[in-house]
Amino acid sequence: MQLEELLQQNKITLPEDIRLLCFQAIDFMSKAKDPIHDRKHIFRMLSDLQALLKNSSEITMKKINFPVLLLTICWHDVWRSGFFPTNLISLFFTLLWDGIGGAFKFLYFANKENLNNSTKNSVFRIISDHGVFRLFVKESLEQKIFFDLDFLEEYNLIRIVNLKARFLNNKSRSLLRLGKFYFEHFLKKPY
């Protein structure tokens, strides 16, 4: 689902600076080097958000801070989309810096748009926590929704097939070993 479609179907109005930042992130993701962190990753998360909004009686539209949630969804993997790990060292570097790198990239562009501090700090905190190391314990509703959407996306079959194809289509033994390591350690069964 595209962002505009989600906004229209749910009658969500975003301030212009936030819309611009969301579309800027989607543009970055359209140039992704990582097959599992492209703009389709964002679109699938938006589709899952739409299903949650449509089917959940517990979460009302008024409770959710949509500027924070949508900025987080759009920006959380922009930093990571810029490269694809080719060995264990680059994989661990990516995992280590994932949340922090993404948060600071968001902060740089949010400052250019003079985004209000409250929204900027909330998005920064949630994206920072997105990596391997959790820095903040307090979870907002937006953070809980975001983590659930991103977790669902980790096990999306289309995403896994794309990643597997990337590893198998490469003739490099080190990339094949990296793919095997990734699938064995990071995509274990969620149950």
User: Residue 144 above 50 pLDDT?
Assistant: yes
Q: For residues 68 and 49, what is the distance between their CA atoms, to the nearest angstrom?
A: 14
Q: Residue 43 has what pLDDT?
A: 96
Does the CA dihedral 186-173-164-26 come out positive or negative? Answer: positive
**Is the pLDDT assigned to residue 71 strictly greater than 70?**
yes
Is 191 domain-assigned?
Answer: no
In a domain, 190, yes or no: no
Residue 158 is part of which domain span? 3-185
Q: Answer yes or no: is 46 within a domain.
A: yes
User: Rounded to whole angstroms, how far apart are CA atoms 185 and 149?
Assistant: 21
- Pick 49 or 179 by higher pLDDT: 49
Residues 3-56 pLDDT 10s? 999 999 999 999 999 999 999 999 999 999 888 889 999 999 999 999 999 988
Mean pLDDT for all residues in the chain: 85
100 C-beta neighbours (distance < 10 Å), count: 18
Cα-based angle 67, 109, 70 (whole degrees, multiple of 5): 20
Domain assignment present for residue 157? The answer is yes
* CATH number of the structural domain spanning residue 56: 1.10.3210.10
Q: How many domains in the chain?
A: 1
Question: Is 174 within a domain?
Answer: yes
Per-residue pLDDT, 170: 64
pLDDT-based confidence at 191, cuts 50/70/90? very low
Residue found under tokens 């790990």: 85
Q: Quick check: is 95 in a domain?
A: yes
φ/ψ region of 53 (left if φ > 0, alpha if ψ in -120 to 50, else beta) reads alpha
- Which pTM value belongs to this model? 0.83
